[in-house]
Amino acid sequence: MFKKLGLGCLGLIGLFVVLGIIVAALGGGDSGVDTATNQPTDTETVTETTTPESTPAEEASSEEPTASEKPKPKTKAVRVRAGAIVKEFEDNELAADNKYKGKTLRITGVVEKIDTEFLNDEKYILQISSGGDFEFLTVNCHDMSNSQLAKLKKGDDVTAVGKFDDGGDLGVEVKDCALA
């Protein structure tokens, strides 16, 4: 029967993979409620400050700090749960892209996986989900230090801060990530 439809063995396998992805995307996902606190999983904006570390010699100096020594300006980080942001992109990718474009995100969730990047076996990414069963899409944190990633394991609660890069069919991509 499959030969009549023009589906060989590889075509049949591909068909099952596509069906599995569709079922996982429709069946999984965030319920819109944080199961730990039974609170809605809304986003909120918080202010993060970053200042360079100073040495005792710099602290004792009475000279005016140079531009590179001055505290960096405050950046607003949007707090969001991994499952909530993935759902926003599933519901309306254009609206979610517009909402997060140019923003720094503070993503909270559960370590789904730490794996190599798709086309680069020397770089690793942190995949964060809401921790539910059968989740297909994740928030993918790029550019993290291997020393930070080595301390994590699947199932750990985690918060990462990074710059929104893209969202869509493969999840949400965040670059320049670090653990919060």
55-72 confidence digits (pLDDT tens): 444 444 445 555 555 555
pTM of the model: 0.59
pLDDT of residue 116 exceeding 60, the answer is yes
Q: For residue 20, what pLDDT band results from cuts at 50, 70 and 90?
A: low
118-171 confidence digits (pLDDT tens): 888 889 999 999 998 888 899 999 999 999 999 999 999 999 999 999 998 889
Dihedral through CA 146, CA 112, CA 102, CA 168, nearest 10?
Answer: 130
Residue 113: Cβ within 10 Å count? 12
Tell me the CA distances in angstroms from 115 to 27, 123, 125, one per residue in order. 24, 8, 6
What structural domains and CATH numbers belong to the chain?
30-179 (2.40.50.140)
Say what percent of the chain tops pLDDT 70: 58
Mean pLDDT value across residues 91-118:
94
Tell me the CA distances in angstroms from 35 to 66, 133, 158, one per residue in order. 47, 13, 15
pLDDT at res. 142: 94
Name which of 147, 174, 170 is nearest 162 in CA terms: 174
